[in-house]
Structure 1
């Protein structure tokens, strides 16, 4: 029998105080200037589910492609409660045809982006304007991807096996967004499984987050504001030009002040993990026309526990060095953080959050994109996954397979109850429960300063 997993004890963080970043490395400052300058200028089941969600294969003369998806191209089926009647759709064709739900028109609201966070007729902002700083580029200077193009995972030739991709699956539609693309664009407005979503990555705080971009009866889309809060991306929506904090998904200034986006659980894993599980899943391609050096990292040597954030941040008393990698889990109104080193050592941690059991996995084999000057060749920091461990009312306990990273295939975990093999993405690959998918729980791989600055009440978990 596998040893019982230890439940981490909680260490409460002390009250917040001001910490200013200083001593920015010359190379890092130069890299930021370079970014600013550059920015101014699976299986058949996967295929059928994606087809139902508005994704179809473009017709070719190969029998393999013809058999992959046979459904005709149709608009995504979205209930009227999800997409208002005024929403429009567009189709993008590269290797696949993707139906997109577009954002609404610009509304007659005062713009916090262009007229200021305290402009007349706007609600009071949630944060001090003095803490929202210019990052260098103008609004949209780092251009979001608003017409994303995709190819099948099996056809991708520009990614290394260990290279980081941000992935999610909605309504059977599996997508992967290479960090080598996100690092230059930061925001992708997309439609996945018939749902309007936004996928984001902030290299300054090393954080990937997904949101549903529907807010009540609005369909929003987002761009980069050129501003930073707690050394992290500040987005703006193009409908009201309100400002949004990336980490919290909350509008901090503008007509929508106080509004909250709904999060989508996403995971950052190695490309080979996504490829193994979803060979016919869709991978965001390198967009043309932007002149970016995709595959290179303009933040070389930034991912270091000894480093400091580039811009000032508000953080509690630092229980950890500011750029320590942590896993943040947000569930049921409670948020906790655990050091990556702890999770990497344990392999599996069982946690109790807000009265619910969750399980966190760590699997080696994923490169950090912001250490080496080439995105694919950073040190191995591994991947994480967080899930509800119950299946059909049975609570499962898990063990990481010894030498999981060197074994064939993505399976790295087994449950003690049935001996089923599971992947870092929570999918049962082999055994009595094969084909079962664990319910993902919202989690964030990030730096400690981002977690502490944006959530001063967060609990830091440490094993005894």
Structure 2
């Protein structure tokens, strides 16, 4: 009986510590199954699991240390010391928020004096007369940056393993919430709120475990494009600067923008419709559609429709900045063609439009196309979180 209690307690102790991290970090096989509920249960009950397991161990351990063989008296302390080492590394080294830290200081530069490479990809947000740009190779390490824009709190997030940029309001039930990176589910970053300890999915903003399960954060409009293209549209934008404390961490994301980074989890698949192929995703009235990036590079401009929404997908000549607009202009369905020097023309009136969706010449001059929320991400991410997605063919 003593032997059974000892072995059972040790197995439970080690298994609970290891599985608690295994299911929410990118270990082989850990991200393919729907295990987030079990992972959350483990994380929530880990203290009691430890107490029960230790209770199983204490009495037989004392017995074997006093009366066991020489080998047992040596092996048992070694096993317990090994557990202490496992406990330390899992709880103080391998947890997500011990590996990826928030900026110690949020630094911004005015566009006129900014030295950021203008070809850098950014997540741009703008409203109420203020605009900011967040370079992906900076925020990609942090995963989330809490900030304010025009006096409103914003949560700028990015998951490099899914290539998903999202901006949310951090207000939960009217209260400004704080979040920490807790791990990942299906290779997508998860955040834990400080108040209820619920787990939130980065790609959708939905709470997928905990007391707030089923509630979603309000998503705020954002765009992914090069800094140069963003500044062409918002010349007074401020640009987030690298925090000097994390210089080496940022260096690890070098070439992430281009998809040629060395990391196997983040490097682009060049062929179409492969797990890490790039797609542009659009969601409208719960109907999702994906556009192959390779095809977009070839065609540069796509007139399409999603349910009752006529839309335009266009790629700038930098082959990095993309836009998705509604083709419904004042109740009229427009069709567009690619013009010269990053301009587009409509067949309806032969007016000319710039890449920001503004008509710059012709009878429609001054009109602006409605921007539609869209994302560039890995195909494995888009199809996972939009399992019924359509594919543009």
State TM-score, norm by structure 2.
0.69
Contact (CA 8 Å) 1:201, 1:208: kept in 2 or not? yes
Counterpart position of 2:234:
278
Residue of 379, 382, 403 corresponding to 2:320: 382
Counterpart in the other structure of 1:151: 109
Question: What is the Cα deviation at residue 434 of structure 1?
Answer: 4.8
Matched, 1:451 2:382: yes
1:90-105 equivalences in 2 (<5 Å): none
Residues 148-182 of structure 1: CA deviation (Å, up to 9, x unaligned): 3322212211x222211111222232221111211
In the TM superposition, what is the alpha-carbon distance from 1:339 to its structure 2 partner? Answer: 0.4
Are 2:308 and 1:355 equivalent residues in the alignment? yes
Do 2:337 and 2:347's aligned partners in 1 also have CA atoms closer than 8 Å? Answer: yes
Q: Check whether the contact 1:144–1:222 (CA below 8 A) recurs between aligned residues.
A: no
Match of 1:395 in 2: 333
Whether the 8 Å contact between 1:343 and 1:362 is mirrored in structure 2 is yes
| Equivalent in the alignment of 1:116 | 43
When residues 424 and 116 of structure 1 are mapped into structure 2, their CA distance, relative to the original with a 3 A threshold, is farther
Structure 1 residues not aligned, in runs of 5+: 1-19, 24-111, 121-132, 311-317, 366-380, 405-410
Provide closer, same or farther for how the CA distance between residues 195 and 146 of structure 1 changes in structure 2, counting only shifts above 3 A. Answer: farther
Question: Are the equivalent residues in 1 in contact too, given 2:105–2:243 (CA < 8 A)?
Answer: no
| Shift in CA distance, 190/389, structure 1 to aligned 2, threshold 3 Å | farther
SS at match of 1:208: strand
For 2:176 and 2:104, the matched residues in 1 are separated by 13
- Match status 1:169 vs 2:126: yes
Q: Is the 8 A contact 2:136 2:257 kept in 1?
A: no
**Corresponding residue for 2:347?**
416
Preserved CA contact (<8 Å) 2:137 2:257: no
Q: What displacement does 1:299 show?
A: 7.5
Higher relative contact order structure (alpha carbons within 8 Å, sequence separation ≥ 6): 1
C-alpha contact 1:140 1:224 (8 A) present in aligned 2 = no
Give the alignment of 1:38-437 within 5 angstroms: 116=43, 136-139=94-97, 141-145=99-103, 148-157=106-115, 159-225=116-182, 227-294=183-250, 297=253, 303=259, 309=265, 320-365=273-318, 381-402=319-340, 404=341, 411-429=342-360, 432-437=363-368
Deviates more, 1:241-250 or 1:385-394: 385-394
Aligned length: 313
Cα 1:258–1:270 change in 2 (3 A) is same
CA contact 2:272–2:294 (8 Å) conserved in 1: no
Query: Matched residue of 1:452: which SS?
Result: helix
| Per-residue CA distance 1:289-317 (angstroms, 9 max, x = gap) | 34445455267699369x9647xxxxxxx
**Alignment check: 8 A CA contact 1:166 1:266 kept:** yes
Q: How far apart are residue 335 of structure 1 and its match?
A: 0.6
Partner Cα distance (1:436, 1:454) in 2 = 35
Change (3 A) 1:434 1:152: farther
The answer as to whether partners of 1:204 and 1:231 remain within 8 angstroms in 2 is yes
State the TM-score, normalizing by the size of structure 1: 0.59
Contact 2:104–2:245 (CA under 8 A) maintained in structure 1: no
Decide which moves more: 294-303 or 268-277. Answer: 294-303
- Pick closer, same or farther for the CA change 1:335–1:344 going to 2, 3 Å: same
Alpha-carbon distance change, 266 to 300 in structure 1, aligned in 2, over 3 angstroms? closer
